[in-house]
Amino acid sequence: MRQTGSVLSVNGVTKRFGGLVAVDNLSFDVAEHEVMGIIGPNGSGKTTMMNMISGSFKPTAGAISMKGARISDLPAQEIARRGVGRTFQLVRLLPSLSVLENVVAGAVFGHRKRWGRDAEDQAHRMLERVGLEAMAYAPISALTYIDQKRLELARVLAGEPEILLLDEWLAGLNPTEMETGIELIHDLRREGRTIILVEHVMDAIRSLCDRCVVMSSGAKIAEGTPEDVLSDREVIRAYLGDDDA
C-alpha cells in the first residue's frame, strides 16, 4: 500500500439544488499518492462532488478539508492556490490564447507562482509531458479532441497541484486515443500523484484506481478496491437495475 495519511477528507457533505439532493451526506478520505475513483450511474452526483472539492459549488452541509484545514468555505481560486487542480467534464480552453499560453496560465497563478521565462519553461516541460510540445505555438483551433484534453491536463499540471481532479478525462475518446489517455494517467500515477477521478470507463477504473467510491442518487453505496466494488450486488443493481443483480 502506498497510503501515508489522508490529504483530503470529505465529511458528511450534502448539496441541495432547491428540492433536489444532488449529493447526500457523503464521506470519504483520500490518502497521499492514492488514485481514488468516483463512479456511479449518470446523474448520481459525481461531478457535483468534484465541483464542491474544487470550489465551484459550496456544500449545503458538511465539510471538505485538505491536510486538516477546511477548504469548503474558500473561493475556487483559493482552493486552486492551495494545490487542488482540476480538468472539466467538457474541456475548457482559452481560445484566444496560443497552446503555450494556455499552459502558462496554469503555471502563473497556480499553486507555485511562476512568471516570465520560468513560467514558459515550465509550460514547455508540461507540454512535453503530455506529448504536445510540437503544437506549442499552434492556435487552439488546430487541436484534435484528445489534444485539447492533453492541453487542459498540461495546464493543470503546470500549477503543480498536490491533488489532481480529473472529471471524465477519458470520455469522448476513440479506442486508440483511449489507450494513449490511460497510459498518460498511468504515468501520473507512477509519479506518485494524488488523483481523484470521475470515470465511466470500467477498464480504466480497474487499472488506474487504488480505491473507488460508488455513488447512486447522491449517496455512497460502496467503497473499496475496484474489484470489490464492481462485484458488489448493490453496485450492480445501481448500474443495471434489479433484474440483473
In the three-class reduction of DSSP (H, G, I as helix; E, B as strand; rest coil), residue 151 is classed as helix
* Segment interacting with other proteins (CB under 8 A) among 23-31, 57-65, 73-81, 174-182: 73-81
56 interacts with other proteins by CB under 8 A: yes
92 interacts with other proteins by CB under 8 A: yes
Name the strand (E) or helix (H) holding 47. Answer: helix 46-54
Of 2, 12, 94, 228, the one binding other proteins by CB under 8 A: 94
Q: Which residues inside 117-156 make contact with other proteins, applying CB under 8 A?
A: 155
Grid coordinates 449517496 are at which residue? 219
Considering CB under 8 A, how many residues would be counted as binding other proteins?
Answer: 27
- Exposure b/e, 28-53, CB count within 10 A at least 16 = b: bbbbbbbbbbbbbbeebbbbbbbbbb
73 interacts with other proteins by CB under 8 A: no
81 interacts with other proteins by CB under 8 A: yes
CA 101 to chain centre: 22
* Segment interacting with other proteins (CB under 8 A) among 16-24, 51-59, 188-196, 233-241: 51-59
Q: Which CA distances in Å does 214 have to 41, 53, 65?
A: 9, 17, 20
Site for other proteins, rule CB under 8 A: 54-56, 75-77, 80-81, 85-86, 88, 92-97, 104-106, 108-111, 115, 155, 159
